[in-house]
Structure 1
């Protein structure tokens, strides 16, 4: 597909984009799969004929259909959700002396909260908004937030406020247009490689803890062979469920301990319980000081959205066929839905901090499926996992979890990064963004490399000459200075103490 990250990904902004006639509606253009030579042709045709409508109802069978392939990203998304929310809740809860039972109950609560907003936005009124997932890159910051006295509600509400500002001002799309192919490809390579190595280390650490290190090797080796076979037979979209089954079955057959222990039930649905003085978080409601403490962290959290969202958008561009711009993820709509979901989640008492849902959009792009149908199934799976309880145990079991994330998210990110950097003057920018991201984090690497790339120091010199002064250096410089200043304030620059003493940890 000969598109670039600078292309506008949605026709929604164009006049008349939502207009349908009786003859070109999805319902009339749909054809049964039996009329196509292959399943791929059918799925590509479905993407090309969809007519998503913003801020108007999008209904199943009238505006989109459910296919078997939709269940794959929904399954991967649910597994990722359970794990990521548990990680954030546990990171906040541990220093506060809260139990594992509290963490589990909050995860169940978040699964029910997110299901409502998935259906409302991605499945109904904003079909080009990716699901509002969990802000994974934020997890390393949370211990610093807690040490500084940060309040989870204040933190979440400020993230929501800054996200709304960025979405309404169309800032997300603007930053996407300023990001070259090389910068974006390098970012995908970095995130993919770091993610794979992290999951491999976690699986080996788990295996060592049970004195069965060989299990990790066998599971990963088997997953590599399975993935290669699926790639050969063009069935890569089946990688997540088959790898989960394979990894879990091998580990259990080799004697790895596993048991279900999370019984069916419902969490406490009362927000006053979660924000009570002696119940829930046992923190009470936030004060003005609480908002001041988390202000720089909230700025940084929303700044991290852009590279994250851009990577997901570009992955769709690479995986989808031509003439599918209408159904591709809209960055600003995704920021809007994530911000609204964050607002209500924080007010209700949830521990989640929202971002674009990578464990959903990446497998969905591979399966060549649009956002809405899989979104509805994801909401259903989240409700089942939260109420039933037992699927949560399976989702967080390391042989299942690690291989699901590796084959469902991180290997595809690597592949997309390689695809984006194989032609043109992209390798310089890709190398610099990997280098700079390794020094601090992806937000730092992304903002620095955009500045260097748009100035013409690296990458395509012709592209730099075509940019306006605002796009060439003013916006990239302001963004880099702002992000670096915030990181310096909270002590995220390696070897440099926090500039504001209250953020030292």
Structure 2
């Protein structure tokens, strides 16, 4: 008799009619999958396409347009580059991501790698990076090299193991709440800009009712497409201004154009001093990966059935692919800063779908959006953008955080994470609370006793000290001036 676990996915697959509910069928699909790591994975032999895969694909495409444009715009502003440059570079980046990495890696070669997305938390630091003499290519290459080293040495999974449920749950709660409030504020700022603030209220209120109903009928995986469509229809019907301006076309694909002294970024190639200037920011950006990647994997664990261990995201492999995507994309001329693709993995987990099928569809939609042009205008329209992020990322993060902090021991650690993150940022909150939690000062006192001294306090202390030194150097502690600026004044 053949062991059930040794049979292939194709042999173990059962038609939908064999299951009482759609949810049971999707759970079974997740349980029987066994993706091949760094080998060929083919549709219908190793995984199947389902209509639920379109949900994370659409959410990821909307999120990609928005986040890449935000990163490039953050660079373009201080450098004096136009909005046309931002759109052109964002379209170029989407083609790089879709053709070279999304389909090739997450869809074919390693379905346990989450898609390489955009590093949203680094956006507020971009003007400071430019002011410090940073160069987009130097920053991208350094992030890629450091991230690849961390992934190869399995540092990401190690840091994930040292992070308790309480710490991770607190991070999810903080990021979810901050994200929700910021998107609501942006939506009202947009509507008040043309003296129609009530549009924002109606859109958010309708979104709340829609999300609650989808929760009631257990179809919240439809929240992103329905929410985006609902927001667009309401805003347009109430008179909000909108027009299509981005025409179809192919962006410039020549790296020499993007890194020319008089074309593209108008910066030329970086020199040694550019790499020195961006070093602290690159270390901090890679340090932000661990809590971000951990949160995405935990979200899968909370939504997938217990037997679906083989389809969970591999943190270290995802880091390696994100790092490779960073170096390649930057070298070709793109301005994106890579990370785990949250606007893909969160909706995919909610829809109970594995990574590969949705990855292929995401690649297809990114190519269509980049070449067609018009979808980019709709995706970055504030009501569509804000609602998609709220229901697709931030509300699910809040729910996952609440699930992880139900017990008294975990809630203690969660409270400290939120407290310290509010003081500085999530990187500070995560690294400090991991140290306090593993020492047994907060959370589960018995958890730290089962660890070695290296895992209990040496690694957390070193990580916390390094991150604090970097944040102190670049001025991220409130009320304390940047040490790098102080040194420049002394010089």
TM-score class, shorter-chain normalisation, is over 0.9
Q: Using a 3 Å threshold, how does the CA distance of structure 1 residues 38 and 219 change in structure 2: closer, same or farther?
A: same
Alpha-carbon spacing, 1:283–1:208, altered in 2? closer, same or farther (3 Å): same
The correspondence of residues 167-316 of structure 1 with structure 2, limited to 5 A, is 167-316=151-300
* Mapped contact 1:491–1:503 kept (Cα < 8 A): no
Aligned match of 2:98: 115
Task: Give me the whole-angstrom Cα distance separating, in 2, the residues matched to 1:369 and 1:240.
Answer: 15
Identify the match of residue 81 of structure 1 among 48, 64, 73: 64
Q: Distance between the aligned counterparts of 1:424 and 1:437, measured in 2?
A: 20
The partner residue of 2:396 within 379, 403, 412 is: 412
1:192-239 Cα offsets, whole Å, 9 max, x none, are: 000000100010000000111000000000000000000000011000
Shift of 1:275: 0.3
Match of 1:25 in 2: 8
1:278-320 superposed Cα distances (whole Å, 9 cap, x missing partner): 1000000000111011001000000000010011010110011
For 1:426, what is the secondary structure of its paired residue?
helix
- The equivalent of 1:144 in structure 2 is 128
Structure 1 residue 502: deviation in Å?
A: 7.6
Report if the CA contact (8 A) 1:166-1:335 is conserved: yes
Cα pair 1:147 1:503 within 8 Å, conserved: no
Q: What is the CA deviation profile of residues 79-100 of structure 1, one whole-angstrom value per residue up to 9, with x for unaligned ones?
A: 1111111111011011111111
Q: Distance in 2 between matches of 1:449 and 1:51?
A: 35
Q: Deviations over 1:236-262 (max 9, x none)?
A: 100001101111000111111111111
> Residues 369 and 104 (structure 1 numbering): CA distance in 2 closer, same or farther, change over 3 Å?
same
- In 1, the alpha carbon distance for the partners of 2:442 and 2:487 equals 35
Deviation at 1:21, TM superposition (A): 9.4
Of the three residues 40, 65, 77, the one matched with 1:94 is 77
Structure 1 counterpart of 2:440, from 434, 456, 462:
456
1:327/1:370 contact within 8 Å kept:
yes
Specify whether residues 341 and 319 from structure 1 end up closer, same or farther in structure 2 by C-alpha distance, changes over 3 A only: same
Structure 1 residue matching 2:409: 3-state secondary structure: coil
**Which of 365, 368, 373 is 1:381 aligned to?**
365
Establish whether residue 339 from structure 1 lines up as the match of residue 323 from structure 2. yes
Distance in 1 of aligned mates of 2:175 and 2:353: 23
Q: Deviations over 1:368-410 (max 9, x none)?
A: 0000000000100100000000000100011111111000000
Hey, what's the Cα distance between the residues in 1 that align with 2:274 and 2:84?
26
TM-score (norm 2): 0.98
Q: Distance in 1 between matches of 2:51 and 2:266?
A: 44
SS of residue paired to 1:255: coil
Output one character per residue of 1:345-376: Cα deviation in whole Å (capped at 9) or x when no partner: 01000000000000000000000000000000
Report the counterpart of residue 15 of structure 1 in structure 2. Answer: none
CA contact (8 A) 1:144 1:503 kept: no
Retained in 2: the 8 A contact 1:236–1:366?
Answer: yes
List structure 1 runs of 4+ shifted beyond 3 angstroms: 20-23, 502-505
Contact 1:497–1:504 (Cα < 8 Å) also in 2: no
1:16 counterpart residue number: none
Distance in 2, matches of 1:22 and 1:216, equals 51
CA drift of 1:106 comes to 0.1
Asked whether 1:129 is paired with 2:119, we answer: no
**1:6 matched to which residue of 2?**
none
Query: Where do 5+ consecutive residues of structure 1 fail to align?
Result: 1-19
The 1:149/1:320 distance shift into structure 2, 3 A limit, reads same
Aligned to 1:434: 418
TM-score, normalising length: structure 1: 0.95
Extract unaligned runs of 5+ from structure 2: none
1:401 and 2:380 equivalent?
Answer: no
Relative to structure 1, the CA distance from residue 502 to residue 272 in structure 2 (aligned partners, 3 Å threshold; closer, same or farther) is: farther
Q: Secondary structure at the match of 2:246?
A: coil
Alpha-carbon offset, residue 501 of structure 1:
2.0
**Superposed displacement of residue 504, structure 1:** 8.1
Pairs aligned (count): 486
User: What's the C-alpha RMSD, in Å, of the aligned pairs?
Assistant: 1.3
Instruction: Give 1:481's aligned residue.
Output: 465
Label 1:214 to 1:293 Cα distance change in 2 as closer, same or farther (>3 A).
same
CA shift at 1:42, angstroms?
Answer: 0.4
